[in-house]
Amino acid sequence: MAVERVRQGESAQAVAKELGVDRSGLQRWERRLSRQANQEWERQQQERALTQENEKLKRALAEKVLEVDFLRGALHKVEARRQRRGSTGAQASTTESGK
């Protein structure tokens, strides 16, 4: 609370005297709280970045799932057409490479 009073414009000397502490001690508290505030801000920024990355990855995964579903459906249609054309189901012959 003392640091907040100084940040609001009260004299550090007056606040320190009122509380019976050394002004340099009050300034150390202020630096420590500033460091903690900066660390908290950095942690929040990292969390936001990770949340955004997570959302981006979720969207990418959803798109890939849709692509796989589409391709699976297309493959089934191709297989069904082949079967309707009277294919025996035997594997097609191919030439060996290099011969």
Distance of alpha carbon 66 from alpha carbon 83, whole angstroms: 26
What is the residue extent of each domain of the chain?
A: 2-59
Better-scored residue on pLDDT, 97 or 28 = 28
Q: Name the region of 69 (left: φ>0; alpha: ψ -120 to 50; beta: rest).
A: alpha
Mean pLDDT of the chain: 86
- Give residue-wise pLDDT tens across range 29-77: 888 888 988 999 999 999 999 999 999 999 999 999 999 999 999 999 9
Does this model's pTM top 0.95? My answer is no
